[in-house]
Amino acid sequence: MSSVKILVAGHFNAGKTTFVNTASEIKTVSTEKSITHSGERAYKGKTTTAMDYGEVSLNGKKLAVFGIPGQERFSFMWKILSKNTQGFVFLLDSTAPDMWKDTVRQIDMLARYAEVPYIIAANKQDLPNALGVSMVRERLGVERDVHIVPCIAKDRGVVTETIEVLLSKIDS
């Protein structure tokens, strides 16, 4: 079975760890630690400090699914984790447009580390205040050929579909 490495990126609190956990068929590797930064603690108790790791078999391929830490202070890990990556999923919290600039910045940086296909996943679409894909596209101002998919990182079916979209770009 051929193996593929993909990286799940995106701003703080976008849903990267949730995405990797939902996708994975094995018990995931997690590096979440208690948050000390007061601004971030308002969102949740723990944050990824180095990486997430999971594995899933899909379409006859064995996928190694890595998640990055979202904050720039952990960005020394971004280059390391990008090595040999064959595609990126960049997550956005669709209810938090003020945070999207951090994902856009990651797209610029990580694309330089690995020039490979990527998609943007507009996450948390189950929440009532989530902005839809067309609004996300408008606000981000990305090129028309950038693929943006709706996502719910807590939903296994949706996560699988999201990875399949990326795989089809990797294969084409």
Ligand X SMILES: Nc1nc2c(ncn2[C@@H]2O[C@H](COP(=O)(O)OP(=O)(O)OP(=O)(O)O)[C@@H](O)[C@H]2O)c(=O)[nH]1
Q: How far apart are CA 123 and CA 107, in angstroms?
A: 16
21 near Mg ion, judged by CB under 5 A: no
Nearer to ligand X (CB atom), residue 2 or residue 34: 34
Amino acid letter at 126?
D
Q: Which stretch binds ligand X (CB under 6 A): 42-50, 57-65, 75-83, 134-142?
A: 42-50
Is residue 17 a contact point for ligand X (CB under 6 A)? yes
Task: Report the alpha-carbon distance of residue 2 to residue 12 in Å, rounded.
Answer: 32
Task: Report the candidate in 53, 69, 63 with the shortest Cα–Cα distance to residue 14.
Answer: 69
Contact call for residue 66 and ligand X (CB under 6 A): no
Query: Which residue in the set 24, 30, 48, 106 belongs to the binding site for ligand X (CB under 6 A)?
Result: 48
Phi, psi of 94 (to 5 degrees): -70, -10
Helix axes 16-23, 156-171, angle to 10 degrees: 90
> Which one of 54, 70, 87, 150 is in contact with ligand X (CB under 6 A)?
70
Stretch of 10-18, 37-45, 57-65, 117-125 contacting Mg ion, by CB under 5 A: 10-18
Closer CB to ligand X, 12 or 78, in the complex: 12
Closest to 61 in 3D by CA, of 5, 120, 117: 5
| Least distance in angstroms from the C-beta of 171 to ligand X | 26
Q: Residue 88: which of 52, 115, 127, 58 has the closest Cα?
A: 115
Interface pick for ligand X out of 6, 7, 14, 166 (rule CB under 6 A) = 14
When asked if residue 48 is in the footprint of Mg ion (CB under 5 A), the reply is yes
Q: Note whether 150 binds ligand X by CB under 6 A.
A: no
